[in-house]
Each structure stands twice: as structure tokens, then as C-alpha cells.
Amino acid sequence: MEFILPILAYLIGSVPFALVVGKLGYGVDIREHGSGNLGGTNTFRTLGAKAGLMVTIGDILKGTLATALPFLFDANIHPLFVGLFAVIGHVYPIFAKFKGGKAVATSGGVLLFYNPVMFLFLVLCFFIALYISKYVSLSSMITGVFLFVYTLFLGDLVLIIVAVFLALFVIIKHRANIQRIMKGTEPKVTFFNKRKR
């Protein structure tokens, strides 16, 4: 059973909610729009808040479910190790030609199951960074750094190693966003903007 759970987690992570919601709900292939990324942000950008929220929640729950597998099956394997396979599935999905998202929401889902208080702290960090910068991508990377710093205070070695992996993974997957931010072409979110009278 211990050997099967990472494979099951990878398959769960591979479910491309952005593709499913886009195609089934709106007849749109999200990969042909915006950043082309199969994630919640690009779905928000392309199809609006309802679709974006559905995809984000789905992507989070993939990580949460995968991390819960060892408990559901009473298996002797570290939940974070299993959860990581969902993140790998989300980024390299077998059901979408191995081109998926950027590891943010599904990593959040893993952390939500493992340490809900830390998850809430990170959500807060994300929205503060988003309010200040208006860049989802930059806020995702900053949150990855905060994750690492937070785990140093907890002293859970496995969690620290996983945090380093997730933070680096998130930053590496945002290479194109970093270039766009430097060129000034990265789109900013608008929902914090005050309405003009």
C-alpha cells in the first residue's frame, strides 16, 4: 500500500481542473489564453471569478486529499512525502501532456492538511503581498519564502525540507513571470483598485 499512495497522489494531482472547467463549462481551452498556464489565476483572468474560484479550490483540494491518503489507508508513509506527488502531478499532469500549473494552489492544499494554522498564515501573507504588489505571481513566490521562514520556527525537519522544495519549485516555475515583471509586461490584478466615481 505504501508504494501505491505516491502513484495515487500523482494521479490525483494530475487532474487538470483548469482544463476541465474551461472546456466542459465554457468550451474554452485555457492553455490558449492569457499566460497559457493551467491554474486558477489564468482561469480567473480568462473566464472570470466563478471559474477561477472553482479551479483554485479544486487545485487546493487535490493537495489536501493526497496528503490525507496515508491516514485514509492507515499506511506508514509520511503524509508530506505523499502530498509532494500531488504537487508534481499538478505541475506535470499525465492527463494534460505533462504541462500543468505552477505548484501554488496544490502546495497550499498539502499544507492545509498538514498544518492548517500555517496555511491560514500563508494565505494572509499572500493577500498582503497581492494587495501591495498587485502581482499574483510575485505574491506566490513571496509566500513560498514566508513558508520556508515559518517552518524554521517550527523545527520540523521534514517540513523544512519540503518547504525548501516547494518554495524553489514555485520560484522555478515562475521564471517567465519574473522576466515579465522585470520587463513591466506582467498583468496586475485589478480587484483591489478603488472604483472611480
Select 10 or 90, whichever has its Cβ closest to ligand G3P.
90
Residues 34-53, mask of contacts with ligand G3P (x by CB under 6 A): xx-x-x-xx-----------
Instruction: Name every residue whose Cβ is closer than 8 Å to that of residue 134 and which is 6 or more positions away in sequence.
Output: 188, 189, 190, 192
What is the Cα–Cα distance from 47 to 36, expressed in whole angstroms?
A: 13
Question: Could you say which of 46, 137, 143, 151 contacts ligand G3P (CB under 6 A)?
Answer: 137
What is the Cα–Cα distance from 18 to 134, expressed in whole angstroms?
A: 22
Asked whether position 22 contacts ligand G3P by CB under 6 A, the answer is: no
The Cα-based distances of 16 to 38, 87, 176 in angstroms read 7, 12, 21
What is the chain's length?
A: 197
Match 491518503 to its residue by C-alpha cell: 69
From the list 25-33, 116-124, 133-141, 155-163, the region that binds ligand G3P by CB under 6 A is 133-141
Question: How is residue 136 written as a grid cell?
Answer: 499574483
Asked whether position 147 contacts ligand G3P by CB under 6 A, the answer is: no
Size of the site for ligand G3P (CB under 6 A): 12
Asked whether position 102 contacts ligand G3P by CB under 6 A, the answer is: yes
Q: What is the contact surface with ligand G3P in residues (CB under 6 A)?
A: 34-35, 37, 39, 41-42, 102, 104, 136-137, 140, 177
